[in-house]
Structure 1
């Protein structure tokens, strides 16, 4: 047990000084949702969420919904526990809405509001953010939502008009720019395409993430070298150890 505690503290300590951020993609398929990524020092954790009969379920597809796997049980309750224990690791919970934006977002806002300390955690140290992805309202409506709700914008369009305080990051599918498989070095042409979009997002002052990226050490290193802010991975533990080795 002491060894596990030492390993956990080591990872968190190194994570606090190492700049590269890790995004645990589809985190709910991990053997231990939330905990696997959190204990690996991930900075972003993703959950696909469906609103069905007034309840928020975490699943990849609607037909895979399990009544026991709710947003509260898998993510809000564990997050509240570590928050109470004052284990203040910089973290964003990226909630990918799979059902209609407005009712789903209303339900998410109400679920978070049941945990006042979580709802306030962004305001001072900004160490916890709830970020809405997937089905989202128009950028012009971002400010309508509570202060603890942020957004994953997925276009360069309207970024200059958006309220910077409500946009947590900007994300794109890597397939829109590259067919690279991550098994051999990326071509200079592909690097230039990616670097152009990365620099554009950074010019607006936002961090960037690509989804559907190859999930190999070569891919992690290449994206790091291109200054991608969040490395998208299904292997948060392996990815974190890769960057701290």
Structure 2
């Protein structure tokens, strides 16, 4: 028989075990410990602690209440800024009626990114000049800044290079030096009015920007080539090849209903593989946002096809639907 004393001990032990298995109790204990030990619960570059990296591109990111930061908070690897040249400044907005003089590429993106990088790279007795990216979970991970040119590329590019100076001087920009690509904390890709001829050809090296390639042409007879027969777009010029989702799968532009079929997914896979053969990633913009079933069906097809980044307007939904 179990003695009364031993029985009580077993009850106490069982209660303690049940108590510690309760997540809310453990969290309360953790919060209490952190409050009592502030120097132990924090570390120098913990600004983005507990943020898990996700292959999400924040589409039209500048429309959010806190551009860049909202994307960073869910672990998105990429943000997008549409830029217009106005009086020597790069203003950010989807169209001209949405522009203000305060909302510049510097104020919405370059400065916040630099501020975050400073937080992630504090000067301590042990840092020894190390370079960490935006994500504490994996310092080597690059973050993509996609800049969509709305004004003529010849006007935008000089201003973009000027605005990127703090990141370049800090040693944070991915570059191509003529022989190899060196990946760093921030990688800049340009699109819109930007094409090979006006943003890549003739540019001085090292170069800190890459141009989006036309994925529908990659691997076809229409693919652009140099006079010597070599391909214009490869992993030295472009990190991503891209197209509108509906154009890629052969759907009408206004398509928003129904599910993406196996045939559509197979077409996406073909395009992804064509880009991969050139050493480039792949992205598709304009997939349906609504109804939710159509949106999720498109996201699922894109993931199955192996795309590099999922374009998302609803960041929280993308983070939950695709990576949880």
TM-score range, shorter chain: 0.7 to 0.9
Instruction: Give the corresponding residue for 1:218.
Output: 297
Which SS does the other structure have where 1:165 is aligned? coil
1:113 Cα offset (Å): 1.3
> Counterparts of 1:10 and 1:174 in 2: how far apart (Å)?
32
TM-score between the two structures when normalised by the length of structure 1: 0.85
1:117 Cα offset (Å): 4.3
Instruction: Give the corresponding residue for 2:209.
Output: 149
* 5+ residue gaps, structure 1: none
Q: Give a deviation string over 1:84-131, Cα, whole Å, max 9, x none.
A: 112623211000000001110111011111444456432555231111
Equivalent in 5, 11, 19 of residue 51 of structure 2:
11
User: Does 2:101 correspond to 1:67?
Assistant: yes
Equivalent in 242, 253, 265 of residue 171 of structure 1:
242
User: Does 2:279 correspond to 1:205?
Assistant: yes
Question: Cα distance 1:80–1:11, how it changes in 2: closer, same or farther (>3 A)?
Answer: same
* 5+ residue gaps, structure 2: 1-30, 35-41, 121-131, 136-141, 176-181, 226-230, 290-294
TM-score between the two structures when normalised by the length of structure 2: 0.66
1:187 Cα offset (Å): 1.9
Equivalent in 135, 138, 157 of residue 196 of structure 2:
138
Instruction: Give the corresponding residue for 1:127.
Output: 185
Residue 92 of structure 1 contacts residue 128 of structure 1 at CA under 8 Å; is this kept in 2?
yes
The aligned length equals 237
User: Does 2:305 correspond to 1:240?
Assistant: no
Residue 8 of structure 1 contacts residue 40 of structure 1 at CA under 8 Å; is this kept in 2?
no
User: Does 2:264 correspond to 1:190?
Assistant: yes
Question: Cα distance 1:207–1:118, how it changes in 2: closer, same or farther (>3 A)?
Answer: farther
Question: Cα distance 1:21–1:206, how it changes in 2: closer, same or farther (>3 A)?
Answer: same
Instruction: Give the corresponding residue for 1:158.
Output: 224
Which SS does the other structure have where 1:217 is aligned? helix
Instruction: Give the corresponding residue for 1:79.
Output: 113
Give the RMSD, CA atoms, in angstroms. 2.7
Alignment of 1:20-59 (within 5 A): 21-59=55-93
Structure showing greater Rg: 2
Structure with more relative contact order (C-alpha pairs < 8 Å, separation 6 or more): 1
Deviating beyond 6 angstroms after TM superposition, the runs of 4 or more aligned structure 1 residues are none
Residue 85 of structure 2 contacts residue 156 of structure 2 at CA under 8 Å; is this kept in 1?
yes
Question: Cα distance 1:119–1:131, how it changes in 2: closer, same or farther (>3 A)?
Answer: farther
